[in-house]
Amino acid sequence: MLLNEALPTSRPQHNQMWEAVLSALRMAIIKGQLPSGTHLLELTLAERLGVSRGPVREALIRLEQEGLVINQPYRGKFVADISAQTIREIYSLRVLLESFAAELCIDKLQPALLQRLRDSLAQMVKAADDQRYEAFADIDLEFHHSLVVAAEHTRLLQMWETLRGVNHAFIAVNASLVSSENVHMFAERHQLIVDALTQRDVVTVKAVLRLHLAEAEQRILAVMAGQATNPE
């Protein structure tokens, strides 16, 4: 079992340690350093990362919520099967769900929602500039969640929520790979979505969503292939 993602040499405070462990384990899973089916033993991982078992336990719980780890009763936790095909299916489904949400909500968007989306843009940029990738992923997902909620379609929202965990993982990884020069690309894509929503232009909203999610998909696939690069 390989685990090449080292933790920071200057250790974070105890209540932040689990996030450093989470980031290392998540990246190792997506890169294939911890392959599908790997038995994740708390003690072994703690020794490899040079931490206590507590942060490892918390990180594994979060990874299970994200869909990157599965818990088999009486056996333990194992790396889930996250193949390239799985990633393509997840992103293609997000495009369908969020495009449909845009169609449903485009004529009934409230000014308060549009302002909330605009506020999220500044928060995303700040989190990325501060290298707070977990926070960035939270804000990014909340942006898209707000769009889906505005559709007022219960089943649609339920389907979108089933993808929330693993998409959080993908967003956090993508944010961590973007250079400081290109970090504002994320906000620019979201700004285009807000602008199109403001103009009630559903065709443009759907086009930008497709482009935004396709770019994110390609970066994750590049990570899996060991060819991750910063977007131009």
pLDDT classification of 1: cutoffs 50, 70, 90: very low
Sign of CA dihedral 181, 187, 190, 192: negative
Task: Answer yes or no: is pLDDT of 117 > 50.
Answer: yes
Average pLDDT of the residues in 98-110: 95
pTM, 2 dp: 0.83
Per-residue pLDDT of 138-173, as tens digits, reads 999 999 999 999 999 999 999 999 999 999 999 988
Query: What pLDDT does 13 receive?
Result: 52
Dihedral of the CA atoms 218, 222, 225, 227 (nearest 10)? 150
> Most distant CA pair in the chain: distance in Å?
55
